[in-house]
Amino acid sequence: MSVPSSADATPDRSGPASISAPARPSPCIILIGMAGAGKSTIGEALARRLNWAFMDSDHLIEAIYAARLQDVTDALGKDAFLDVEASVISSIKAHRTVIATGGSVVYREKAMRHLASLGPLVHLDVPLIIVEERIARNPQRGLAIGPGQTLRDIFLERQELYTRYATLCCEATCKNPQQCVDWIVENLPPQVIAADGAAR
């Protein structure tokens, strides 16, 4: 009996030959809304439902700076942070991915144009009182807020922008995360998930 050589024993690490990037872009689903609206929680649940990838753009910024988002926003200041966020968002290349964005992404049209090119934008709409309660429980969310601004100030100015850019608006106040996922899947343009064999 022959003994296999060390070359024979080396596992094939090249991966499946059938795996490749899509020849044509596949849509993503982008979640927008205030901090505390549930973008990450609902986004992860939606990605599991569709068997898609999930991406949180705030985590990309944290990875670039190797720091908490709150520390990044504090160090840069509002305007510089918004420029950094727009640059990170505009560099995203993804397919079949649910993307949860930071609440401030709507301040830069460049970022919003890029996100709209990736797929439909779903606004998770919750009232100010819920946003205040959730942020009070986790104040280190990395809010991009200018000197003298209040949470109410940025809530009101962002609501107009969310409405302007959203493809769909999911009223999330009286829905749990799974109900939000169901609503999004039922109301998405059919072509978004049609090529994926529909939701699971």
**C-alpha atoms less than 13 angstroms from C-alpha of 62 in its C-beta half-sphere:** 15
Say yes or no to pLDDT of 182 above 70: yes
**Collapsing DSSP states into helix, strand and coil, what is residue 89?**
helix
Comparison of pLDDT for 163 and 145, the residue scoring more: 163
Q: Which residues contact 188 (CB under 8 A, 6 or more apart)?
A: 29, 120, 122, 168
Full-model pTM: 0.84
47-63 mean pLDDT: 96
**Collapsing DSSP states into helix, strand and coil, what is residue 119?**
coil
Identify the residue whose tokens are 């020849």: 23
Q: What is the pLDDT of residues 19-54, one digit of tens each?
A: 555 555 689 999 999 999 999 999 999 999 999 999
Q: What is the pLDDT of residue 17?
A: 53
Q: What is the pLDDT of residues 75-86, one digit of tens each?
A: 999 999 999 999
